[in-house]
Amino acid sequence: MIIEILTIIIIGFIPNNISNIVVTVIISFVASIQVSSFRKLVDSPYATTMSTGNLRSASQTAYIAVTQKDINEAIKAIRYFIIIFSFIFGAFGGGILTLKFGENAIWYAAIVLVLALIILKIEE
């Protein structure tokens, strides 16, 4: 996670006249690190960079929870839906920040990652 944070901070210093493809490649690298680092939420696999698989898993676990009255599946479904809504909130917030701050919105992503790192360290 520290590599992700440092990489995003470095991206914040890339001048605007540099091709967008450079930033896209670097962001893709950061996303690949995140996908590799965070594969499970408690006992369930999930994706941190895309929501479609999480939506499928949420629907499947919710269906099992309802049809079989399985409380454990209900808890899993709730976790998946929290992730999905967090993704939506993050995308919406990122869009708003980008409209307001342009390229400088990347700094907010670094701040969020630092806060997440602090939370992870506290939980250890």
User: How would DSSP label each residue in 28-45?
Assistant: HHHHHHHHHH--EETTEE
Q: Count of CB atoms within 10 A of residue 51's CB?
A: 19
Quick one: how far is CA 66 from the chain centroid?
28
Please check the confidence at residue 108 and state whether its pLDDT lies above 80.
Answer: yes
pLDDT in tens, 51-60: 788 888 899 9
What value does the mean pLDDT of the chain take?
A: 87
Q: Where are the domains of the chain?
A: 2-123
Q: What is the pLDDT of residue 111?
A: 93
Q: What is the pLDDT of residue 45?
A: 65
**Other beta carbons less than 10 A from residue 116's beta carbon:** 14
50 or 80, which is more confident: 80
